Chains A and B, each alone.
Chain A
Amino acid sequence: MGNLVLSQQRHLALPPADVFALLGSDRTAGWLFGADYQALRVGALVQFELPLNPDDPNGSTVDAFGRIASLTPPHRLVIDQQSPWVGRLICTLTPVSGGRGTVVRLGVEVPEDAVTWLLRQRGYDPLEEPTPPATVRIGVLTSKSGPASVFAAATENLARMAAAEVNADGGVAGTGHKVHVVLRDDASKPEVGAVQFRRMVAVEGCRAVVTNVTSEVFDAVAPLARRLGALLIYTPVNEGGRFRPGVMRLGERPRGQLRLALPTLVREAGGKRCYLVGNDYVWPRTTNRVARAEIERIGGVVVGEQYRALGTTRFDDLIEDIAAAGADLIVSTFVGSDEARFERQSYAAGLRDTTRTLSLAFDESTREFTGDDAARGVWTTFNYFQELGSDGNTAFLRRYRATFGATAPPLSSITESVYEAIHMLAASGALNTDANLTELVSAVRAQRFSPTWPSAQPEQRRTGEKALYLAESIPGGFRISAN
């Protein structure tokens, strides 16, 4: 099947210019025109609330986003929808009735992958097409829906780009087999993640699965890895944990992040009264335990600690409490859209006037969802930022933009690490269809310290020592201030 193409039109009793003026200015003008437009320019982020039941305009909604791909007021608007499925929306406004009315036509193009994903949401789970011989499958578990979905679009792009690079470069080391990535959605839920992981490994033959889901989902999936004989590579910032034979963790650890960031943040904030907040699961709680110890080590005091469930949308009471506690510094371990909302609401409530924030999963995607103004004054620390000036990173970004275009989402440590992991697997020399798990794990572990694959990370990373960068959110991106 090719792309699904849908087309609809409506006849409105307003001139095109008046219809166009509703774009981004009237929240009630349907989910497309009434969406949250960060700016009316090409490349700008658009956040939609899609109705779960389109026949009920007041029913519940699901978060979605896209970017403006082309804009010709008052005639044409093209949006590349990027979440929860990919699609292209072409909206044209044609004057009728001597210019007093408008025919609005909406053409939508949805690729086959997106239709398959929608089928899966309905419980109809078609298997992957059989792959040709001499192909190895690598599973990629990501979050296309739920709070962690802000990372999904870039993750999928980078997984595909890594596979394409491996294949163009002669296939995986050793056998020359081609890589095929199998992308699955955990919906930001542990039970869904476990089902999808089992399926990728047991039914679809993935010997290795790369993932950047939340550690809540990771904890549900990790015990399955050894049982099913697959390697699980967990790429994002994480709390560490006990050794598991079939599991590798690549991301930043809280102690390193906090030790690098806290002295600067305390100086910036002008005080040592810290308030710890986060989503209610294992990574935020473990990180805050480390944060408390690190804060006390430098003579600070923790004046509050609170958690909210994943998927929280309003933080008013928490923000009031932070203000009342007289905090100088907020350490946030909210993730994804929860973090974006928390920062927006903190900004709106004036918290930036009295506090600074260190947010440990505040990557480029989250920063963009928060918006330039609300993100100002938020600091973070990662192994990778797309602002890094290394030659490797410049070439990497050029390849990414050349493949996915100017409207592709920004890249961050949380998404770039998936790209690294796929190259790491391919370079290991042990990735073949009948790989023994122990051999595969030790070959990939060895790759970590003698890397030979193309990387976006700067040279010092290549020695096995990961550089960690501290950065502050400024309009348009991050300013890297220390490593």
Chain B
Amino acid sequence: MSCGSSPFGALADDTRRAVLSLLSEHGELTVTQIAEQFTHIGRTAVSMQLRVLRDAGLVKERRAGKYRYYSLRVEPVHEVISFLNSLYGASLDGLARAAEASADQEPAAASDAPDPTGTDKDTPRWGISY
């Protein structure tokens, strides 16, 4: 299994998890308030972690005067939905490629086909059921 930016990648390091945990408990915090919770790393390291989190779309930033406030974003849910959509969609893309290869071996079927590429892709849809 590989690591990195994939959704299955290695879990975030302790500091990153702790920052997210603090934000989920307190709602909104400044860098200084977050850094106060750590003894083993300083404000600069916390800022770096916040940037990683922000770039990953997990944390958002709000400026008010000379302060920057950080809080959790809800968009990760949408990222998960988009990941699941492309994951399950990929299984059908693979099937379409195999079907295309199979149809190529049977020219009669292929020539009659309405879509010679064999991948008439429809827009994925999603929703929530209760």
What is the CA–CA distance of A173 and B16 in the complex, to the nearest angstrom? 40
What is the CA–CA distance of A11 and B128 in the complex, to the nearest angstrom? 25
Shortest Cβ distance from residue A9 to the other chain B in the assembled complex, whole angstroms: 5
Cβ contacts under 8 Å, A96 to chain B = 114
Cβ contacts under 8 Å, A59 to chain B = 2
Q: Which one of B90, B97, B116, B118 has the highest number of Cβ atoms from chain A below 10 Å of its Cβ? A: B90
Binds B, one of A50-58, A349-357, A410-418, A454-462: A50-58
Contacts A52-B8, A122-B76 given; indicate if A22 touches B98 (C-beta within 8 A): yes
A125, CB-defined interface residue at 8 Å? yes
Cβ-closest chain A residue relative to B86? A54
Contacts A4-B128, A123-B12 given; indicate if A10 touches B113 (C-beta within 8 A): no
What is the CA–CA distance of A270 and B120 in the complex, to the nearest angstrom? 61
Shortest Cβ distance from residue B70 to the other chain A in the assembled complex, whole angstroms: 14
Contact B87 A50 (CB under 8 A): yes
A251, CB-defined interface residue at 8 Å? no
Cβ contacts under 8 Å, A102 to chain B = 99
What is the CA–CA distance of A19 and B103 in the complex, to the nearest angstrom? 10
Contacts A30-B93, A34-B94 given; indicate if A13 touches B110 (C-beta within 8 A): yes
Contacts A13-B115, A33-B98, A54-B89 given; indicate if A127 touches B8 (C-beta within 8 A): no
Shortest Cβ distance from residue A333 to the other chain B in the assembled complex, whole angstroms: 22
| Majority-rule SS of A interface residues | mixed
Contact A195 B124 (CB under 8 A): no
Contact B118 A13 (CB under 8 A): yes
Contact A13 B109 (CB under 8 A): yes
Q: Which one of A22, A29, A30, A89 has the highest number of Cβ atoms from chain B below 10 Å of its Cβ? A: A30
What is the CA–CA distance of A50 and B16 in the complex, to the nearest angstrom? 26
Kindly supply a per-residue 1/0 record for chain A positions 233-251, scoring 1 wherever the CB is within 8 Å of any chain B CB and 0 otherwise: 0000000000000000000
Cβ contacts under 8 Å, B118 to chain A = 11-14
Cβ contacts under 8 Å, B67 to chain A = none
A481, CB-defined interface residue at 8 Å? no
Contact A8 B76 (CB under 8 A): no
Cβ contacts under 8 Å, A109 to chain B = 129
Shortest Cβ distance from residue A292 to the other chain B in the assembled complex, whole angstroms: 33
| Majority-rule SS of B interface residues | helix
Cβ-closest chain B residue relative to A19? B99
Contact A127 B24 (CB under 8 A): yes
Contacts A9-B122, A122-B58 given; indicate if A33 touches B94 (C-beta within 8 A): yes
Contacts A52-B1, A104-B92, A122-B56 given; indicate if A12 touches B8 (C-beta within 8 A): no
Cβ-closest chain B residue relative to A11? B120
Contacts A31-B94, A119-B80, A122-B7 given; indicate if A11 touches B88 (C-beta within 8 A): no
B20, CB-defined interface residue at 8 Å? yes
Count residues on chain A whose CB falls below 8 Å from chain B CBs. 68
Which one, B76, B88, B126, contacts A106 given CB within 8 A?
B88
Contact B98 A28 (CB under 8 A): yes
Shortest Cβ distance from residue A127 to the other chain B in the assembled complex, whole angstroms: 6
Cβ contacts under 8 Å, A14 to chain B = 99, 102-103, 109, 118
Which one, B17, B81, B95, B125, contacts A22 given CB within 8 A?
B95
Cβ-closest chain B residue relative to A9? B122
What is the CA–CA distance of A32 and B89 in the complex, to the nearest angstrom? 10
Q: Which one of A104, A110, A118, A189 has the highest number of Cβ atoms from chain B below 10 Å of its Cβ? A: A118
Q: Which one of B76, B92, B120, B121 has the highest number of Cβ atoms from chain A below 10 Å of its Cβ? A: B92
What is the CA–CA distance of A101 and B99 in the complex, to the nearest angstrom? 10
Contact B116 A119 (CB under 8 A): no
Cβ contacts under 8 Å, B122 to chain A = 8-11
A10-B95, A13-B118, A30-B93 provided; 13 other pairs, C-beta below 8 A? A4-B128, A6-B81, A8-B85, A10-B93, A22-B99, A54-B87, A59-B2, A62-B8, A115-B80, A123-B11, A123-B20, A123-B56, A195-B17
Listed in ascending order, the chain B residues whose CB lies under 8 Å from chain A are 1-2, 6-9, 11-12, 14, 16-17, 20-21, 24-25, 53, 56, 58, 72, 76-77, 79-81, 83-103, 109-110, 112-116, 118-122, 124-130
The 7 closest A-B pairs by CB, nearest first: A30-B94, A13-B113, A11-B120, A123-B12, A29-B98, A32-B91, A2-B130
